[in-house]
Amino acid sequence: MSRPLATSALALILGAGPLLADVTPNEVWQNLRDGYEQMGYQVQVGSEEGSGDQLSLSDVVLTAEDETASDMTLTIPRIDLAATGDGAVRSVVEGRMVLQMRDTLPEGEEVGITLTLDAPGNQTLSSGSADEMQHSFVMPTLVLEGRTLDDSDEVPVTATLTNVEGTQTNATAADGSAAQTYLGSADMLEMQISATGPAAGTDPDMPSEDMPSDDAAPEAEGEATAPTDTAATDSFDATFRISDLTLEGEGTSPAGDLNFGNQPAAALEAGFSGAGRFAMGAIAGSFTSATTGGEGEDATASGEFAAASGALAVSMSAEGLTYEGSSTDMTTQLTSSGMPFPISYAAALNSFRLAMPVVASEEEQSFSLLYALEGLTLDDAIWQALDPEAALPRDPASLTIDLEGQTILSQNFMDPEFADGSQTGPDGEPVMPYQPRSLSINDLSLDAIGASVQMSGDLTFGDDPSQPVGTVTGLFSGIDTLLDSLATMGVVPQDQLMAPRMMMAMFARPVEGNPDQLQTEIEFREGGSIFANGQQIQ
């Protein structure tokens, strides 16, 4: 999907709940309609019936207003709104909603997806005042069914959420800006994906070589006709189950006509912000696949994965974009006809966090990247294949990457041109939107198979990012012992150990009192020269 289409879809989803509500159904609908139009959508209503305490709307269609995202529509068959008699309004969506998104790739290929949403028994109760409204909603089940818009590949998707409920609060300030909070939950999400399509290198419109041609000799009368083969196909089937889902969110929208749907950069600069946190309980999934190669060879694969819990969070404002997630107690098993043995591994923790600027500025802005993998273990079958003599320690491995720094962003991240890299400098050459100015390596460490590496340092950058200035230090443990183990295993021939040891001697020196530890100091100087422990290497 193009960036305008993706951001337009995001805005539609974020605004799909009830917006400002009042004490009558007509006022509720007018505020709802105004909210969608402020997000950049055209709203059409097939028919409107009722007045006073009841209102029914039929064939409600929301269409993206921006021409670059005009192929996205949400169709709602019917909305019934009725006053409850105690100052609240009950809203019910009847029938299956249809969400369709289309886009055309640069090559001319049309892609997209069509989804139907069915929520029997749904209802939303809206109450409060025009300045601050509270909405409580329930959906016993929410079923999504869809398929890709592709003539050759079939990718049907079915997802079911059970016991969906939540609350949403919308407040409007005197200057017209708005603030929203959201809290929702579901007992279970179950999803099935079943994809089929022509095998690689085959033409779905052509019969296979086993299929007789039209001018083949006819069968003798009474002779049985053998079934013919069709073109080879690939298939993929997967199921997912996630329990105990919760979603929290908040956001602010500036006053006026600016909206994140079709003017994301301007809306961010005007004060738009949004944040969402998604937490999950137990996670489990499995998949199977079958493919046919270009030479007609068949291949199959299957796998299972599980985790005790997971989390995902995203926030965006003029201050930047933050995206982070984690999972705990992961297990994964993979089998394939192309692998000599099954792959099975587990990890106690896998987490990441990325923060970066999104609004262009001539001033330096902060960025950071954090990744942690803790307690990684491999199945005994893998160890038996790699190290049958148990020469290497099999303790859990870990990896940590902790970086932060300053950069100048020369182009808004949400601009359509950002993704295609079309920005150029005065000389006509492509310009990198992110221009680093400093980098701090807080921690870069790896601990595995009895050896460990720990690195840290600080670098600054001028106009040429390939020539940093600064110092990076490192501490290496167990490297010499690891080389001896690899030689024992036959991975490194004994008579070739001298070369890697000489290489280490060029960049590192022994730690006094601990011969199995090495330390290094790499210094980057002006002009591109590099020194290792005081000796120039470039």
Question: How many whole angstroms separate alpha carbon 522 and alpha carbon 404?
Answer: 19
| 257-279 per-residue burial string, b: 16 or more CB within 10 A, e: under 16 | ebbbbbbbbbbbebebbbebebb
Provide the residue-wise pLDDT of the chain in tens; the chain has 538 residues: 444 444 444 444 444 444 433 458 887 787 678 767 766 678 999 999 987 899 999 999 998 755 554 478 899 999 999 999 888 899 999 999 999 888 776 677 777 888 899 999 999 998 877 678 788 999 999 999 988 766 555 678 899 999 999 998 878 888 888 888 899 999 999 999 888 877 665 554 554 444 444 444 444 444 444 444 455 688 889 999 999 999 999 988 888 777 776 678 888 888 889 999 999 999 999 999 998 876 667 889 999 999 999 999 999 999 999 999 999 999 999 999 888 888 999 999 999 999 999 999 999 999 999 999 999 999 988 888 888 888 889 999 999 999 999 999 988 888 766 666 556 666 666 678 889 999 999 999 999 988 999 999 999 998 888 889 999 999 998 887 888 787 777 777 777 777 777 777 777 788 887 877 889 999 999 988 999 888 888 7
User: Whole-model pTM?
Assistant: 0.80
DSSP letter at 214? T
By CB atoms closer than 10 A (0-12, 13-18, 19+), residue 358 is buried
Enter the tokens of residue 444.
């870069």
- Compute CA 138 distance to the chain's CA centroid, rounded to the nearest angstrom: 27
Is-contact 142 164, C-beta < 8 A?
A: yes
Is-contact 118 143, C-beta < 8 A?
A: yes
Q: Which amino acid is at 217?
A: A
DSSP letter at 2? -
Enter the tokens of residue 343.
């792959």
3-state secondary structure of 527: helix
Could you write out the DSSP letters of every residue in 80-124?
EEEE-SSS-EEEEEES-EEEEEEEE-TTS-EEEEEEEEE-TT-EE
Instruction: Give the phi and the psi of residue 399 in degrees, each rounded to 5.
Output: -140, 135
Instruction: Give the phi and the psi of residue 364 in degrees, each rounded to 5.
Output: -70, 140
Enter the tokens of residue 532.
């290792």
Is-contact 366 406, C-beta < 8 A?
A: yes
- Residue 461: name the closest of 485, 499, 432, 490 by CA: 432
Is-contact 255 177, C-beta < 8 A?
A: yes
| pLDDT at residue number 500 | 75
DSSP letter at 222? T
Question: How many whole angstroms separate alpha carbon 421 and alpha carbon 398?
Answer: 36
Question: How many whole angstroms separate alpha carbon 178 and alpha carbon 208?
Answer: 61
Enter the tokens of residue 341.
């043995």
Is-contact 11 418, C-beta < 8 A?
A: no
Q: Which amino acid is at 52?
A: G
Q: Which amino acid is at 323?
A: Y
**Cβ neighbours for 471, distance < 8 A, ≥ 6 positions apart:** 457, 458, 521, 522, 523, 524
| pLDDT at residue number 21 | 37
| pLDDT at residue number 534 | 84
**Cβ neighbours for 514, distance < 8 A, ≥ 6 positions apart:** none
Enter the tokens of residue 270.
């005007």
